[in-house]
């Protein structure tokens, strides 16, 4: 039962159905052509006999049967066996007939007589004397008098029908035999074609989450099978990458959650180890509150990225003046640089207004993160510049700092979750390692992007590109 539900069986069945229809069609065409050819051959013979008989008729007599057989033998090359001949006048009265008719006569239809009277030859097939006969009704014309006599020549179709019957038996025998042989060939070809598919199926069943490094061997062909293998290997490669990202994310998240929890546990144990004065308890509580706040930010960032990955975080977009929004973020972030004596300067472009279609809450979150990072990693007494600009269909916001910079080896990974260039300094600064990942998602959710340029020891420049929007008048 499993075989009949397989692709192999369906391919073979379709192959047999198409071949069967083809064989039946060509068999019917062969039978038609053979039948037509045989009947035309019979018609030519009885027409020749009719013409010989007509040429033998004298103007005043219809008796030609004394030497007709010799004339026919001389004309057609042999004695005309099983041929019936009768001669009639225009009214259908018999004037003569061949000896083999004896006291019988050939039937003549009204249509044949009518055609003969108009000088038209008529061919008919009739059952006469217990056998099928092909009958020609041939008018004999005389100059000046029109149709003078009508000749009928008939010959048996038994041999023709026997030939066609044998042809049918041959075709009926050959078609099933051909289909049987074709089915065996179809199964063989289907097995040969599907063998690589079965091998691919077997290999892919062996691939699990523990051995995603396996690949399906390429058949080294440039056909559909090769494309299938490339597609499967590409899918496995993406799955392997996703699994690694999930494993890395789980390990990083566990580590990030473990650190503040360990600090909380240690400080609680120290606080409870002996009686302390109120000031010491307040110190431990302040330290614990910092770790709780850090945990809260980490969980909040994880929640944002989780919702974004599932497509459940929607943007409330509206027309925004990007110059005003960026300037507002700069003003609110200036106090962050006061502790490090870092200046936050805003340099708008020459355009008075640059409009974009965006979510004000998410765009502010992105700019806060980028400006806050620039301040955190700037040197004391340095400067952070926020410069707006425009390039074709995109508006740009560049955040430049005068910090340590990022090495070329770290640049491709800075937007990865929990990736830190300087892990110790990032943790001291209170970062979660998710800020740049969230910024990248916000930019891409606005059909934009973030680019970064950095020189170690000089500083970094993060540039946000967002499509411009023409507000309604």
Choosing from 110, 145, 163, the residue where a domain stops is: 163
- pLDDT single digits (tens) 28-45: 999 999 999 999 999 999
Residue 290 Cα distances to 204, 285, 287, angstroms = 50, 9, 5
Angle between helices 278-310 and 224-273 (to 10 degrees): 170
The pLDDT confidence band at residue 431, using thresholds 50, 70 and 90, is: low
pLDDT at position 391 is 81
DSSP string, 301-348: HHHHHHHHHHT------EEEEHHHHHHHHHHHHHHHHHTTT-EEEEE-
Q: What's the mean per-residue pLDDT of the chain?
A: 81
Q: Does residue 352 lie within any of the structural domains?
A: yes
Q: How many domains does the chain have?
A: 3
Q: Does residue 448 lie within any of the structural domains?
A: yes
Lowest average pLDDT, out of 168-177, 241-250, 397-406, 409-418, goes to: 241-250
371 lies in the same domain as 233: no
Lowest average pLDDT, out of 165-179, 332-346, 358-372, 390-404, goes to: 332-346
Over residues 263-291, mean pLDDT: 78
Any idea what DSSP says for residue 402?
Answer: -
- pLDDT single digits (tens) 457-467: 888 999 999 99
Q: Does residue 408 lie within any of the structural domains?
A: yes
Give the pair of three-digit tokens for residue 16: 């047999």
Q: What percent of the chain has pLDDT over 70?
A: 88
Q: Does residue 127 lie within any of the structural domains?
A: yes
C-alpha to C-alpha distance for 467 and 311, rounded to whole angstroms: 21
- pLDDT single digits (tens) 97-135: 777 887 888 888 888 888 888 889 999 999 888 889 999
The pLDDT confidence band at residue 429, using thresholds 50, 70 and 90, is: low
Q: Which residue has the tokens 């030609």?
A: 64
Q: What percent of the chain has pLDDT over 90?
A: 15
376 contacts 429 by C-beta, under 8 angstroms: yes
Determine the Cα angle at 312 with ends 308 and 316, to 5°.
90
Q: Which helix (H) or strand (E) holds 46?
A: helix 7-56
CA 242 to chain centre: 26
Q: Does residue 258 lie within any of the structural domains?
A: yes
DSSP string, 268-282: HHHHHHS---HHHHH
- Name the residue among 214, 225, 167 with its Cα closest to residue 38: 167
pLDDT over threshold 50, residue 203: yes
Choosing from 111, 131, 163, the residue where a domain stops is: 163
58 contacts 89 by C-beta, under 8 angstroms: no
Order across the sheet with 343-347: list the strands.
343-347, 383-391, 394-400, 459-467, 449-455
- CATH number, domain with residue 122: 3.30.450.20
94 lies in the same domain as 13: yes
- Name the residue among 354, 359, 353 with its Cα closest to residue 318: 359
pLDDT over threshold 60, residue 64: no
332 lies in the same domain as 423: yes
- pLDDT single digits (tens) 312-349: 778 888 998 888 888 888 888 888 877 778 888 888 87
pLDDT at position 30 is 93
294 lies in the same domain as 240: yes
Q: 450: domain range?
A: 318-467
Q: Which helix (H) or strand (E) holds 463?
A: strand 459-467
C-alpha to C-alpha distance for 365 and 362, rounded to whole angstroms: 5
The pLDDT confidence band at residue 351, using thresholds 50, 70 and 90, is: low
356 lies in the same domain as 463: yes
C-alpha to C-alpha distance for 141 and 119, rounded to whole angstroms: 7
335 lies in the same domain as 266: no
58 lies in the same domain as 116: yes
Pairing between β-strand 343-347 and β-strand 383-391 as defined by DSSP bridges: parallel
- Looking at the chain, how many residues does it have? 473
Question: Which has more confidence, 16 or 308?
Answer: 16
264 lies in the same domain as 375: no
- CATH number, domain with residue 262: 1.10.287.130
Choosing from 163, 179, 213, the residue where a domain stops is: 163
pLDDT over threshold 70, residue 74: no
412 lies in the same domain as 441: yes
- What residue spans of 57-157 are helical by DSSP H? 68-76, 110-117
Any idea what DSSP says for residue 83?
Answer: E
Give the pair of three-digit tokens for residue 226: 């090769």
Over residues 372-391, mean pLDDT: 86
Determine the Cα angle at 305 with ends 304 and 310, to 5°.
100
Residue 173 Cα distances to 81, 169, 177, angstroms = 33, 6, 7
pLDDT at position 28 is 93
C-alpha to C-alpha distance for 251 and 268, rounded to whole angstroms: 25
404 lies in the same domain as 289: no
Torsion of CA 315, 316, 318, 324, to 10 degrees: -80
């Amino acid at each position: 039962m499993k075989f009949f539900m397989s692709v192999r069986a369906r391919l073979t069945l379709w192959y047999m159905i198409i071949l069967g229809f083809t064989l039946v069609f060509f068999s019917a065409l062969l039978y038609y052509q053979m039948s037509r050819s045989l009947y035309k051959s019979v018609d030519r013979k009885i027409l020749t006999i009719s013409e010989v008989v007509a040429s033998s008729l004298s103007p005043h007599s219809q008796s030609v049967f004394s030497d007709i057989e010799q004339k026919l033998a001389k004309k057609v090359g042999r004695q005309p066996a099983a041929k019936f001949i009768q001669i009639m006048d225009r009214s259908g009265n018999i004037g003569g007939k061949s000896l083999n008719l004896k006291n019988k006569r050939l039937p003549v239809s009204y249509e044949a007589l009518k055609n003969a009277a108009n000088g038209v030859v008529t061919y008919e097939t009739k059952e006469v004397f217990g056998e099928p006969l092909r009958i020609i009704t041939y008018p004999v014309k005389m100059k000046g008098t029109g149709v003078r006599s009508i000749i009928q020549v008939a010959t048996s179709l038994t041999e023709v029908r026997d030939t066609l019957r044998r042809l049918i038996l041959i075709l009926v025998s050959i078609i099933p035999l051909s289909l049987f042989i074709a089915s065996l060939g179809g199964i063989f070809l289907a097995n040969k074609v599907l063998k690589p598919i079965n091998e691919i199926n077997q290999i892919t069943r062996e691939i699990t989450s523990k051995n995603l490094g396996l690949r399906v061997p390429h058949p080294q062909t440039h056909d559909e099978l090769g494309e299938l293998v490339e597609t499967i290997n590409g899918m496995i490669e993406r799955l392997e990458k996703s699994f690694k990202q999930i494993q890395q994310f789980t390990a990083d998240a566990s580590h990030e959650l473990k650190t503040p929890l360990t600090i909380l546990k240690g400080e609680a144990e120290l606080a409870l180890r002996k009686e302390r004065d109120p000031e010491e308890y307040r110190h431990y509580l302040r330290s614990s509150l910092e770790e709780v706040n850090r945990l809260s930010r980490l969980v909040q960032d994880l929640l944002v990225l989780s919702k974004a990955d599932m497509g459940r975080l929607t943007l409330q977009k509206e027309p925004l003046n990007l110059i005003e929004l960026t300037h507002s973020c700069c003003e609110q972030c200036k106090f962050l640089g006061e502790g490090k004596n870092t200046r936050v300067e805003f340099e708008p472009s020459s355009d008075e207004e640059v409009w974009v279609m965006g979510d004000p809450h998410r765009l502010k979150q992105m700019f806060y993160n980028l400006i806050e990072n620039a301040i955190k990693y700037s040197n004391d007494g340095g400067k952070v510049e926020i410069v707006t600009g425009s390039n074709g269909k995109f508006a740009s916001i560049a955040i430049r700092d005068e910090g340590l910079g990022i090495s070329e080896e770290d640049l491709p990974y800075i937007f990865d979750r929990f990736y830190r260039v300087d892990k110790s300094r990032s943790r001291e600064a209170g970062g979660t390692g998710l800020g740049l990942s969230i910024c990248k998602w916000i930019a891409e959710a606005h059909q934009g992007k973030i680019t970064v340029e950095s020189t170690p020891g000089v500083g970094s420049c993060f540039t946000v590109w967002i499509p411009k929007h023409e507000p309604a008048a």
